[in-house]
Each structure stands twice: as structure tokens, then as C-alpha cells.
A and B are shown apart, each in its own frame.
Chain A
Amino acid sequence: MHSNWKSPPGSPWELIVPAAMLLVTFGLPFTGVVDCYPFSGAPMFNESPRTYCEYTAFDGKGTVLPLDLLGLQRNDNGNPPGHGHGRKPKFSIDRLGKVSTKGQIEAAVLQSLKLNPFEVHGFVTVKVRVIKDLDGNQIGEDPNLSWIQVVKLP
């Protein structure tokens, strides 16, 4: 099939660019740098969470409050946070694999409302649903671990 091959053979410098690109792609994670676009250690979904929390928040009148104003929004998108993005995400205590304490939730709500002045009637009610393994076959809300807490505003 290559009997009519007339192209001149390549010189070693043809390999310089691909070799450099591949060397960085392969070697970057060894330096401790997880992500430096366009190079990456491909850390997507490398964490394996077994639990997480679903938050809902209301004010004293029963109005649903945006979670990102209370520091309870989900920043996770499957990639380990902190790597491969140039800005820090908006503050949140939500993290896949972790269940925050009542104290952490209260502190997050108070701190966030201080930073994001927002009209809240009376107090903030936070409903925390803890999702985990239920029966060895499915995941769902564990009612024994879930709770509702009221954060009183100063």
C-alpha cells in the first residue's frame, strides 16, 4: 500500500511539540498541581461521598430563601473544589460527604446575612435532610439524622 510513498522521512524535531505536551499532561500531577488548564490530572469524581445534606430555608413568613444568600448553596459539581478555577466560589458550608453541625449552620447563616444584606422576616428556619445509605440498596433521607433548626437573627 505504501509502494508509492515518496514523502521524505521526518526529522526528530517533529516530535518536540507532542512530546512536550504529553510530558506535561503526564507529569503535571506528580508535581502536586492537580489542574492547570489545558493540563489536568483529571480529578473529576475522585472523591467517593457516602452522605450529603439537602437544605431548604424559610423566613418567619414562610418565604423560601435563596440558599446562596445563607452560605448553604451547593458549589460541588463533581470536581474536587479548589482546583482548576481562578476564583474562589461563594462561601458555603455545603460539601458532599459531610454533614454540618447545627453550630456551623447557624454561623454560616449569620455570617452570610451580614455579608449579603437581604430582607428576612423575623428568623430563618433551615430544614436539613441528611441523605445516606438506607438499606444497603438505596439512598434516601434518614429521618433520624435530619432536623429542622431555627436561626434567630440579631
Chain B
Amino acid sequence: MTKTSQVWLIQRHPATFGRVFEIFVVVWAALLCLYLPLTLETERVVGTEPNIFATILSPFRGTLLAHPMLELGLVIGMWTFGALWLCQRWLPFSPWLSAAFFTFAWAVRLENMGKTIHVSHLSALMLWILAWWRQTTLSEFRLAKAQGTPWSGLYYPEWVFQSCLLGVCFFYGWAGWSKLAESGLDWPNGISMQIWTRLWGNPHFFATQWILDSRPLAMVLQAMSIVFEVFAPLAILPRFRFWIGLGLVGMHLGIITVFGWGFHGNMIFIALLMFPIRSWLEEGRLNLTFFLNPWTSKPRALS
């Protein structure tokens, strides 16, 4: 086993960061599920031919998969088990079921759509990694809970942080590499940015007009986006992490404010993983005691 993987396996950190990250992931996933019933009538395509393999549920296409009640049931399931997970109840089943219901709810939606969206992929990946974390450290969590330190006990392995970070790095790395593969170095030509902005930009936001009025600005924004995406995997290295994170968060702020697309969760994941939030929490420079105390149970005797 390499030294790195030994460190990733053995090193345990105070769980505060992991628990805060977990809350953001589960709450965001629940909000993404809220999008599904709200768009049940408008986004589902009825009566067109099946497309190529699109989700892990594609082999099971049939009448049941097309039934809207299935999607609603999965959403309600995600909310239920997500709430149990947040309350630290029925572990480790609630995390597993929450991840499964979320993944299948969105898979069912995508199976019934005539176009795709990419807002839920990263959330699904994070949910599965976090569910596995709660599975593998269940006894350590129970010990910390019994000792009265469910938020700060040493049951957050390094591999959880590194796996979530790698997931973000690969996702955004591919976003950049696929642009290079498809359009080459001409991708940041500024014209395409102006076309997307004209089509989908918020006409009431000042930056929308700036982009439409200035090709150089459009080119710079586009070039910065592809640079940060292509080099996103460098965030694995601590020395580049903050700067890559800053660039990707800036890109998402632009996407959210100009286009209004739902990448808020991805932006928060990037900020939490790539900004030094974890070290601030561990070094006590960021103190969440005031917020976390109401949910901290009193210590009880070890049995």
C-alpha cells in the first residue's frame, strides 16, 4: 500500500467539517428533489421514441419507469431518509436510502426527458461517498456520541475529504477536456458566449448586457472558464487548491447570476472543499459551536 493511501485510510480528523459538508449535501439534494415535482408537467417528454443509453436505469425502461408517481414516490423517499440522516437517525440505512432515492429519482426524470441537465450528478456522487463514510465509521460515531462529541469526534477519515475533492476535480476536469476535445482551442471565441447570453441570459442583470456589448469581455470570461476547468484536477495539490477553487466559484457565480441555472450546490461543494474551511474549523479559527450546540446530545455512560 502506498504511503498516501495509508494516510488517507488511517488519518482521522474531527468530524465537524464532514458533518457540516454532509448537511450542505443532503439539504441541497433535498432541494434538487423539490425541482422534480415542480417541473413534472413541463419537462417530461411523452410519446417520443426512446433514446440511447442515458442513465443506470436505462436497461429497465418500460411503462413503470414512465409513470410520474414513481418519480414522486422516490422524491418523498429521499426527503424522508434525508431528514432521518440529518437527525442522525437510522444510521447507516438512512444515508444509503437517501442516496439511492435521490439517484433513482433523478435517473427516472432523465429517462423521461428529451434533453439533459447536469445539476444533480455531483450531488449524487457526494451522497454515495458520504453514505459509505457513515457506514464505515459507524462504531466510531457511536463512541463519539457516547462521549458527548458527536460533532467533533475523530471519525472523519482523510479519504472522505480526498474522495469528494477528487470527484469535483474529475467532474470539472472533464467539463474542460470535453470542450477542448469537441471545439479545440477555438472554444473561447466569445461569439458562443454572446450567443448563449442572448438566448438564456437574464436581461435584467447588468452583466448580461456587458457581455453582449463586448466581445473581449466575453472572450476573457470564456477563456477563464476553460482554464479553470481544464486545470481543476490540480486542486488535488494543496498549493493550487485555493486558486482553482476561487476560479470555479467565480465561474459559478457568473453562471448563476447571468443564466440562473441551478449550480448553487456545486458552487458550495467547491467552496467547502477547496477553500481552507476544514483547517479553519480544525484550528479553531472558525467556530461553529454556537450553531452546533443545540443539536449536541449530552454524554451518556458507555455500555
Contacts and interface: CB of A to CB of B under 8 A. Distances in A.
B154 to A, nearest CB: 5
B106 A29 contact: no
A36 interface: yes
Contact of B12 (A7, A75, A81, A96): A7
Interface string B134-169: 001100100100000000001101011001001100
A125 interface: no
B114 A35 contact: no
Interface residues of B, number: 78
A104 interface: no
B174 A29 contact: yes
A42 B50 contact: no
A136 B218 CA distance: 12
B51 A46 contact: no
Nearest to B10: A9
B113 A15 contact: no
Given A52-B195, A85-B54, A85-B114, A15 B178 contact: no
Interface string A4-42: 111111111011011001100110010001111111111
A38 to B, nearest CB: 4
B214 A137 contact: yes
Main secondary structure of the interface of A (DSSP, over half): loop
B103 interface: yes
Contacts of A52: 195, 199
B52 A82 contact: yes
Contacts of A43: 175, 178, 182
Contacts of B90: none
B49 interface: yes
B163 to A, nearest CB: 4
Interface in B4-55: 5, 8-10, 12, 45, 48-55
Contact of A38 (B112, B120, B175, B189): B120
A15 B132 CA distance: 9
A26 B174 CA distance: 8
Interface string B172-193: 1011011101110011110110
B115 interface: yes
A142 interface: no
A131 interface: yes
Contacts of A40: 118, 121, 171, 174
A14 B9 contact: yes
Contacts of B183: 46-48
B258 interface: no
Nearest to A28: B174
Central interface residue in A2, A10, A17, A78, by most chain B CB within 10 Å? A10
Contacts of B186: 48
B103 to A, nearest CB: 5
Nearest to A50: B191
Given A38-B106, A46-B183, A86 B55 contact: yes
Interface of A: 1-2, 4-12, 14-15, 17-18, 21-22, 25-26, 29, 33-52, 74-90, 96, 131-133, 136-139
Given A25-B170, A40-B174, A83-B52, 16 more contacts: A21-B129, A37-B107, A38-B56, A44-B118, A46-B179, A48-B179, A48-B189, A49-B191, A52-B199, A78-B200, A84-B118, A85-B51, A87-B49, A133-B191, A139-B195, A139-B198
